[in-house]
Amino acid sequence: MAARLAIIGVLIAFGFVGGQQVANGQEERELQEEKARVTGIGGVFFLSRGQGKDLAAWYEEHLGMKHEDFGAVVLKWEEDTAEDSGITVWHVADQDSEWFRPSDSTFMINYRVDDLEKMIEQLTAAGIEILQGPEYHENGVFAWIMDPDGNKIELWEPKIWDENNKR
């Protein structure tokens, strides 16, 4: 009974009664024009602290990011074989966040990988320190490294959200 009352309370709070939404400003919202919005990330661009070509070569050698003739990497969603069918997460951290440490950069890029255990083996064999991980979360496996410019990188092997993914 208590659960049923709670559900009814939620329906009322959100303006639903008898399967229909109460007018509570609905007509006004429909009259407002929909705003344009961002639908995805079209690219990530940043300055190297040294030579861009050297940093790009490091990314190609160690993370498998093949550069096209015009100098950029093109990551195509249709080539991503992850269980989640491809998503991009965008987040702003608070100024005092420790998440990006030990980097002093104001950004961190999360790269989707197809096999994080294999990637960690490759990076370790190349002498690249794994700062943290692998960590097994509901939405996949994570590890963190630094690039030669001191930018922290988050590596993520995506999984469909499942509590059983945690270890």
| H or E element at residue 119 | helix 116-125
List pLDDT tens digits, range 69-112. 988 899 888 888 888 877 888 888 898 999 899 999 999 999 99
What are the structural domains of the chain? 52-165 (3.10.180.10)
Residue 116, judged by CB atoms within 10 A of its CB (0-12, 13-18, 19+), counts as buried
Joined tokens for residue 42: 């079209």
Note the pLDDT of residue 27: 60
